[in-house]
Amino acid sequence: MQPLISTDDLMSALSADPHPTLLDVRWSLLGPPGRGDYAEGHLPGAVFVDLDAELAAEPGPAGRHPLPDPTALQEVLRRAGVDADRPVVVYDADNGSAAARAWWLLRWAGHRSVAVLDGGYAAWSAEGKPTTTEAPEPGDGGFRVRPGVMPVIDADQAAGLARDGVLLDARAPERYRGEVEPMDPRAGHVPGARNAPFSEHTDESGRWRSPEELAERFAALGVTGGSAVGAYCGSGVTACSVLLALEHAGITDARNPAVLYAGSWSNWAANPARPAATGADAG
């Protein structure tokens, strides 16, 4: 399954048997929680999944959004009706930066058929496609979490990748440069990392740029088909949209995926012994 699905293709898929399981993962770094948006309207049949509480473990030394416990994640996904033999489509408000976290986690957990809705809820509703305020009762799914299908690296491995391969920092340029830091104890970036802001992978409406345009952007950052490449962000959420963009661009795939530094800057910056680079270059 391709990492992105259009609104029209999803509309058609929802009339198929079996139709995809829909997960609403609307979320914002600074709040408010996405459950309120879900209550005001969502795709018919979609189940809300809380990114902070259900797609991450408790904040701590591992970061602000550590990977969830596999058993806990399995319970969440089963309550949402997720099965291994049924495709899953996830969506957020618009640009996929939160939905990509769910996309990546499901892949990490062993699900083979997951896609992000291109343009998210904004695109779906703008086209007049059906929405509802009714919460479904999906029943128990049978998905079994088998963690580790997608590769994860720690801080030492991230430092090595920045030195010997390409480590992409998904945060906004001003956070990468160390000019501001609204969330974590120190500003800056992993030395050697290159800035690939997640916001640049979509257009103003939140729809993803073409594979050709994304490939050109990544090539300018030194990413080619043979590159060892990975991504991080503030806490391991929006970095997943970089991983999705790499796959959409045809640079990586399920057999040769990019790696995620799951702890990301929130893990790196918590250790004062680790250096913090500043400025616009990768040094």
Residues belonging to the active site: 233
Q: Which residues of 43-81 are buried (b: 16+ CB within 10 A; e: fewer)?
A: bebbbbbbbbebbbeeeeebbbbbbbebeebbebbbebb
Q: 89 with 23: CB under 8 angstroms?
A: yes
Q: Are strands 4-5 and 166-169 parallel, antiparallel or unpaired?
A: unpaired
- Residue type at 39 in one-letter notation: A
* Angstrom distances, CA of residue 90 to CA of 70, 248, 258, 276: 19, 16, 20, 34
Q: Name the burial class of residue 91, with classes exposed (0-12), middle (13-18) and buried (19+) by CB atoms within 10 angstroms of its CB.
A: buried
Distance, in Å, from the CA atom of 141 to the CA atom of 81, rounded to the nearest integer, reads 4
> Rounded to the nearest 10 degrees, how much is the dihedral formed by the CA atoms of 213, 216, 221, 224?
120
